[in-house]
Chain A
Amino acid sequence: AQRVTQPEKLLSVFKGAPVELKCNYSYSGSPELFWYVQYSRQRLQLLLRHISRESIKGFTADLNKGETSFHLKKPFAQEEDSAMHYCALPFSGGYNKLIFGAGTRLAVHP
């Protein structure tokens, strides 16, 4: 069965420290993965997607098919990065139907 696992409910770091939010998935085939973010009092929004291979707000994520992981990384955390982060995987068959992980709250302290 397709599944997304985010093992950490909370990741707490100090400003300027490196950040890695973990995401593991189970999927047969070549997945396309997403990271969505929800800042305080804002709606859920796309942060980045694997297929575009772009860096948004300094975050990057590399798909590791061997380890079935799509960890989100940033070398130097900023206070404004504090938010709920969700890893998401489309159901096989497409049609924009997403399976979300339980989410990790990133708290960046001054």
Chain B
Amino acid sequence: DAGVTQSPTHLIKTRGQQVTLRCSPKSGHDTVSWYQQALGQGPQFIFQYYEEEERQRGNFPDRFSGHQFPNYSSELNVNALLLGDSALYLCASSLGVRQDYNQPQHFGDGTRLSIL
């Protein structure tokens, strides 16, 4: 089991562009969460997808959107990129059936996004 896989590993964009990041969850997991990790900071929650719907959202603007597919994989889209969007974007998967229990999350290696 490869665990959580993310693509691409690195990406360079310019201000105003749009970007799509991809994530495949660990086998058997149905919930995908996205986090943004700025340099020197801990990961910050963006949103979470379960049953193809956004279930929860952190304090991020509408420029950040996502999608979950029937096979549980997910995409993170960011529009109108700003310099401040430069960060490591982490995907984490977990089993979301037991919604009242905080399941440990399994993280991918992340996508390093640089905005010029």
Known: A91-B56, A96-B33. Is A43-B105 also a contact (CB below 8 A)? no
- Interface residue from B31, B48, B90 paired with A44 (Cβ < 8 Å): B90
Total interface residues in chain A, CB < 8 Å: 25
A103 to B109 alpha-carbon distance, docked (Å) = 17
A residues 1-29 in Cβ contact with B at 8 Å: 4, 6, 9
- Interface residue from A4, A86, A94, A100 paired with B102 (Cβ < 8 Å): A94
* A residues in contact with B1, CB < 8 Å: none
Count class of interface residues, chain B: 20 to 34
* B residues in contact with A95, CB < 8 Å: 48, 50, 55-56, 96, 99
Which of B11-19, B37-45, B69-77 is the contact stretch?
Answer: B37-45
A52 to B99 alpha-carbon distance, docked (Å) = 18
Interface centre among A45, A97, A99, A101 (most CB of B within 10 A): A97
Known: A34-B104, A45-B107, A49-B104. Is A97-B56 also a contact (CB below 8 A)? yes
Q: Tell me whether B107 and A43 are in contact (CB under 8 A).
A: yes
* A residues in contact with B40, CB < 8 Å: 9, 102
Q: Tell me whether A32 and B41 are in contact (CB under 8 A).
A: no
Known: A43-B108, A45-B107. Is A102-B56 also a contact (CB below 8 A)? no
Q: Tell me whether B55 and A46 are in contact (CB under 8 A).
A: no
Counted as pairs of residues, one from A and one from B, with CB atoms less than 8 Å apart, the total is 66
Q: Tell me whether B42 and A96 are in contact (CB under 8 A).
A: no
A97 to B43 alpha-carbon distance, docked (Å) = 11
A95 to B98 alpha-carbon distance, docked (Å) = 8
A residues 67-87 in Cβ contact with B at 8 Å: 86
Known: A34-B104, A49-B104, A95-B48. Is A102-B42 also a contact (CB below 8 A)? yes
Chain B residue nearest to A42 in the complex (CB): B109
With A91-B45, A96-B92 given, name 11 new contacts (CB 8 A). A4-B42, A34-B104, A43-B3, A46-B104, A46-B105, A95-B55, A95-B96, A96-B33, A97-B33, A102-B42, A103-B42
